[in-house]
Structure 1
C-alpha cells in the first residue's frame, strides 16, 4: 500500500498522542514494505521533503504556534489546511489511502476535498468526541466547535475510534456503529518493561494534562487523607495545564504537603516511564478519556491502576479487571488508595492486560483496516 498521513504536528518533533500513533503505526508499516508519507508542518530541521525512519516527511507549511490562550488555535488549523491543499492535490492520486489526523478537523475537510477528485479513500481516527464539552472549551464559540465536529462526522469517510466509548459517542453525530472500526491506541511494552525505575520515584503517581475534567484535585485531597495513616507514602504529579496554578495552591494547604511533588511537564518520555516503573500505584480519576494511554503504560510498568468509572471515560475498557475503578469522588479515590497501598492487587495482572495494546498488535489491526477501506472504495 501507498499511504499518506495528514497531521499538522509530526512526532517526535512535536510530542502528543495523536502524532505518536501515526509515527508508531507508520514506521511499522514501512518496515512491512508499505510506502508511507506524512504531510505536516515543517517542524524538523532539514529539507521540506526528506526520509525519516523509513517514511517520507513532507513539510507543507512552516512551523506555527499551535495554542492560543491554552486552547488549540483555530487560525493555525485553517492556515495548515489551506497550505495543505495544493500539495495534496498534486499527490493524492499517487496514494492508495489518505489517513487524516482528526483534530483540529479542518485538515480532514481539506483532505476530503483532494480525495474527491483523486478517488482515494479517506480514513480518520477519532480520539475523542466532544459534543457538549465544546461549550466549556470555547465558551460562546461552543456552537462553532460543535458544528465543525458534526460536519466532519457526516463527511463521507472511513472512521476509526480508539475505544468503544468514543465510537458510541460518534454515532450521536454521524456514522452508524457498524461503520466504525475500533482500534485502540498503543504502547511499546518492551520499552516500558526495560526502562530503569527512577531513583527518586513516588509511591503514587499521576501523569497527564492538568485540566479540570482530570480531577487531579480529588486525587490530591484523597492522598492527603490516606497519608494520615500511611506514613511513608508520597505523591508525584507529572504534567502541565490550565489547572496547574490552582493545584499548586491546593497542595500548599494540605496537612501533608511535604509529601506531594509537582514535577511539571517532563520533556523526555523515558523520564515519565521511569517514574511509572518506580511507582506502586498510578491514579487518574479523570471523568473524560477517549482512550487513556497512561493507563496502559502504567499497567505495563506493573502499577496498580486507579481510575474513575464514568460514562464518558474509556478507562474501564482499557483497564478491565486489571485495576480499580471508582467513583470520581474523594471518598472513592481514598478508599481505592488505601486498598492498593495495603498491597491488594486486581484480579488480572496489569502486565498481562497491557500486552493487548502493544504497538505491533495495533499496527497489524490498522493495516487490515486500511486494506479493507481500499477494497470498499473500489
Structure 2
C-alpha cells in the first residue's frame, strides 16, 4: 500500500494522541513494506521533505500555534486545510497514493482531503477519536452551532470511517454514516515500553494522569481520597495541567496533606514510570472517546478505577480488568478503600492491556485500509 496520512501536527515534534497514533501505525506499516507519507505542518528542522525513521514527512504548511485562548484555533485548521489541498491533489492525480487517511479533528482537513481526491479512485479513510455533539455548548459557547454544523457536515461527507471505540462509533452513527459502515480500530500502547519504564525516585499509592479539565472530575477524586487517606497512610499524585489547575490546588490545600500536583511531565516515560510505581490508577472522567491512560495503567499492572458513564468508553477499554463506579465521592472512596486493601479485578490487567499493543492495532488498521482500497468496506 502507498498511504498518505493527513495531520496538521506530526509526532514527535508536537505531542498528542492523534499524531502518535499515526506515527505508531505508520511506522509498523512501513516496517511491513508499505510506503507511508505524513503530510503536516513544518515543525521539524531541515527541508520540507524529510525522512523520520522509515516514514516520509512532507510539509505542506509552516509551523503555527494550534491554540487560541486554550481552544484549538479555527483559523489554523482552515489555513492548514487550504494549504494542503493543492500538494495532496497533485500527488493523488499522479497516482502516488492508494489511499488517504485523515484524522477528523479539526474537521477541515477531511473536507480538503475529499476535495483533493475528486476525480480519482483514491479512498479517503477518516479516524474519529471523538464525536462532540452537545459538548460544543461548553467548548464554544455562542459559537456552538458552528462547531456542531461542521461536525455534522464532516460526518456526512462520503468516507470510510474508523472510530477508536464502539461508543464513538455509536455517536458517529447518530449524525452520519450507518453503524455497520463504521469500523472500530482502537488506540494503542507500547506494552513493552510501559513495562520497562524507569521507576521514579518518589512514588504514589494512587495516581491520576490527564488534562485538568472539568470533565475529568479530579475534584471528586480529591474529596474521595481525603476520606480514606489517613486509614491507608496513602499518597495521591496528580499528573497533568489545564484550566482547572488553580482551583484544584486550592481545593487540595484544605484536604489531606498527602496530595501532590506534579504538573505536566515533558518526558512520556516519566508518566509511565509513575504508573508502574503506583498501586491504583484512578480517573473518574465522564467523557472519554477512548481513554488511553486506562490501557497504559493496565499495562503497568495498576488497579484501575474509572467512572461508569454513557459518555465514556472506559467500560469498553477496561472490561473486567478494572473497576467502574458512579462518578460520586462516596462511590470513588469505597473503591479506593477496597483497592488499597488489596482487592484486584477478575481479569488480569496485563492480559487485557495486550489487546491494545500497537502491533495488534497496526495489524487491524492494515486490514481495514486494504479493504478500503479493494472496495470491500
TM value normalised by structure 1: 0.98
The corresponding residue for 1:168 is 170
2:359 equivalent to 1:357: no
What CA distance in whole angstroms lies between the structure 2 residues aligned with 1:194 and 1:230? 28
What CA distance in whole angstroms lies between the structure 2 residues aligned with 1:253 and 1:159? 47
The corresponding residue for 1:259 is 258
What CA distance in whole angstroms lies between the structure 1 residues aligned with 2:132 and 2:373? 29
Does the 8 A contact of 1:198 with 1:277 survive in 2? no
What CA distance in whole angstroms lies between the structure 1 residues aligned with 2:138 and 2:43? 30
What CA distance in whole angstroms lies between the structure 2 residues aligned with 1:264 and 1:217? 16
The corresponding residue for 2:196 is 194
Q: Secondary structure at the match of 2:273?
A: helix
Superposition map of 1:108-187 within 5 A = 108-187=110-189
The corresponding residue for 1:234 is 235
Could you report, residue by residue, the CA deviation over 1:301-320 in whole angstroms, capped at 9, with x for unpaired residues?
A: 00000000001100000000
Does the 8 A contact of 1:309 with 1:326 survive in 2? yes
The corresponding residue for 2:46 is 46
Superposition map of 1:331-350 within 5 A = 331-350=330-349
Does the 8 A contact of 1:121 with 1:377 survive in 2? no
The corresponding residue for 2:251 is 250
TM value normalised by structure 2: 0.98
Give the C-alpha shift of residue 51 in structure 1.
Answer: 1.0
What CA distance in whole angstroms lies between the structure 2 residues aligned with 1:118 and 1:76? 27
Q: Secondary structure at the match of 1:282?
A: strand
Give the C-alpha shift of residue 89 in structure 1.
Answer: 1.2
Give the C-alpha shift of residue 377 in structure 1.
Answer: 7.7
Does the 8 A contact of 1:308 with 1:315 survive in 2? yes
Does the 8 A contact of 2:41 with 2:63 survive in 1? yes
Does the 8 A contact of 1:120 with 1:377 survive in 2? no
Give the C-alpha shift of residue 118 in structure 1.
Answer: 2.5
Could you report, residue by residue, the CA deviation over 1:209-259 in whole angstroms, capped at 9, with x for unpaired residues?
A: 11101101100110111113222x1000011111111111111121x1x21
The number of equivalent residue pairs is 375
Q: 1:208 aligns with which of 188, 210, 214?
A: 210
RMSD: 1.0
What CA distance in whole angstroms lies between the structure 2 residues aligned with 1:60 and 1:269? 28
Unaligned segments of structure 1, at least 5 residues: none
What CA distance in whole angstroms lies between the structure 1 residues aligned with 2:3 and 2:161? 16
List structure 1 runs of 4+ shifted beyond 3 angstroms: none
Does the 8 A contact of 2:198 with 2:269 survive in 1? no
2:60 equivalent to 1:60: yes
